[in-house]
Amino acid sequence: MLSNSIEARDIASQVHSYVDLAALEEAGPLVMTRGEGVYVIDNNGKRYLDGMAGLWSAALGFNEERLAAAAVRQFKRMPFYHNFFGRTPDVTVELAEKLQSITPESVKRVYFANSGSEANDLAIKLVWYYNNAIGRPEKKRIISRVGGYHGITVATASLTRIPVNQKGFDLPIDRVLFADCPHHYFFARSGESEEAFAGRLAEDLERMILEEGPETIAAFIAEPVMAAGGVIVPPATYFERIQAVLKKYDVLFLCDEVVCGFGRTGNPFGADTFGISPDMMSLAKALSASHAPISALMISEEIYQAIKRYSGQIGMFGHGSTYSGHPVSAAVALETLRIYEADRIPDHVRTIAPHFMMRLNAMASHSLVGEARGVGLLGAVELVADKAEKATFDPTLKVGPRANAIAQELGLILRARGDALTICPPLIISESEIDELFDKLWSALERLTSELH
């Protein structure tokens, strides 16, 4: 790298996320300069089909002019105000009302934040606050799942049971328990159906609650589809059985819709796809198509009424964020939701998803692919050393990252989660672009096969 290049300047100034920092200093970053639909272009003019929608999030692609215009209009009218002390920007009220009209009936009150991590962090705080409010000070523990991803704050990274997010950070904190990962491919017993596997996981969850004491278990948090954990689609009847256990022991269901929300699974929310009735629901990413930072925590009326009463006893609700419901972000999010409706994006997803799933499922015929899995416009291919035995590769071979790097050379951006390659394109992707995505992925695996042999 030339000493005055933007790559060298980046290495000298910025700390990056999710990377070996020492290796990055040797290789340098990939610098993006602009976007066109589902494509991004680097500083050398090379185009990439971004098969990850940035970070599971750029639902409308990378140059939606209507969102830029919405931001400019709001900047000119009122660039900032807050929701402290009973004040609020008008556009934030409009956004809250819009979310009330489209989210599941069980969650209707809204608190805005800036990221999925912050929304989930607030969910943890409200679980504790709520149980204090109704006189259950011992009912504070939260059950997450192995492989679940819920954020990177101290509290939410404690719920994120992925080794790299906890190792070295002195995490998890206490009050957190972990249920089993619902990945049928790897964890089902020989000959065990999806329904039988789901039943066993529900029984294991009930056993955990009873052993720990139902009076101590406050909430269960889950993504409808585990995204960063490798796009783990729940086995048939899983959430039906899990919710029955939670209801039996009065345990709240926190539904993390940060990736699945706003059409990703083929329905407005993952909760709709999998029959979930949440007590709280976190939203982010596609809420603004990632054109502006914003998130929201939806909570049930019962929880709201309890915390309202408690705030009066204490003197006030002592939580706040300077940028909660930021008017520019709210305006962009409101315009995003209008575009989803005007352009019939959910209908487009339902129309295009069968082709996506057909091409995804066809990847299972490749010699390196043990499982191809997905729903809607969300998928993954699991790379294995032996398909018949489901034998994984030696981790030192870094097969997943190598496949990911080859795909990037071919102009396709994906994400490696161990030896799973995850796929989450913008919701506006066309059939021909889906074909380009999977053609390049196949080519990447063919080249990897040659390298391995």
Rounded Cα gap, residues 416 and 230, in angstroms: 8
Q: Is the pTM of this model over 0.75?
A: yes
Cβ–Cβ < 8 Å for 39, 62: yes
pLDDT digit string, tens, across residues 189-237: 999 999 999 999 999 999 999 999 999 999 999 999 999 999 999 999 9
Domain boundaries, the chain: 31-63+344-452, 67-342
Rg (CA), the chain: 22
Which two three-digit tokens encode residue 288? 């603004």
pLDDT by position in tens, the chain (length 453): 667 899 999 999 999 999 999 999 999 999 999 999 999 999 999 999 999 999 999 999 999 999 999 999 999 999 999 999 999 999 999 999 999 999 999 999 999 999 999 999 999 999 999 999 999 999 999 999 999 999 999 999 999 999 999 999 999 999 999 999 999 999 999 999 999 999 999 999 999 999 999 999 999 999 999 999 999 999 999 999 999 999 999 999 999 999 999 999 999 999 999 999 999 999 999 999 999 999 999 999 999 999 999 999 999 999 999 999 999 999 999 999 999 999 999 999 999 999 999 999 999 999 999 999 999 999 999 999 999 999 999 999 999 999 999 999 999 999 999 999 999 999 999 999 999 999 999 999 999 999 998
Residue 87 carries which side chain, given as an amino acid letter?
A: R
Please provide the size of the chain in residues.
453
Residue 127 carries which side chain, given as an amino acid letter?
A: V
Instruction: Tell whether the torsion through CA atoms of 309, 297, 65 and 16 is positive or negative.
Output: positive
Write phi, then psi, for 192 (nearest 5 degrees): -80, 125
Closest CA relative to residue 46, chosen from 402, 410, 445, 435: 410
Residue whose pair of structure tokens reads 């934040």 in the numeric block: 113
247 Cβ partners below 8 Å, 6+ apart? none
Cβ–Cβ < 8 Å for 312, 134: no
CATH of domain 67-342: 3.40.640.10
Cβ–Cβ < 8 Å for 369, 384: yes
CATH of domain 31-63+344-452: 3.90.1150.10
Q: What is the dihedral of CA 296, 301, 303, 305, to 10 degrees?
A: 120
**C-alpha count within 13 angstroms, C-beta hemisphere, residue 142:** 28
Rounded Cα gap, residues 81 and 441, in angstroms: 45
pLDDT digit string, tens, across residues 416-433: 999 999 999 999 999 999
Query: Exposed, middle or buried by CB within 10 Å (0-12, 13-18, 19+), for 387?
Result: middle
What DSSP character marks residue 85?
A: G
Write phi, then psi, for 135 (nearest 5 degrees): 80, 30
Cβ–Cβ < 8 Å for 158, 176: yes
Rounded Cα gap, residues 98 and 102, in angstroms: 7
3-state secondary structure of 176: strand
Residue 60 carries which side chain, given as an amino acid letter?
A: L
Residue 324 carries which side chain, given as an amino acid letter?
A: S
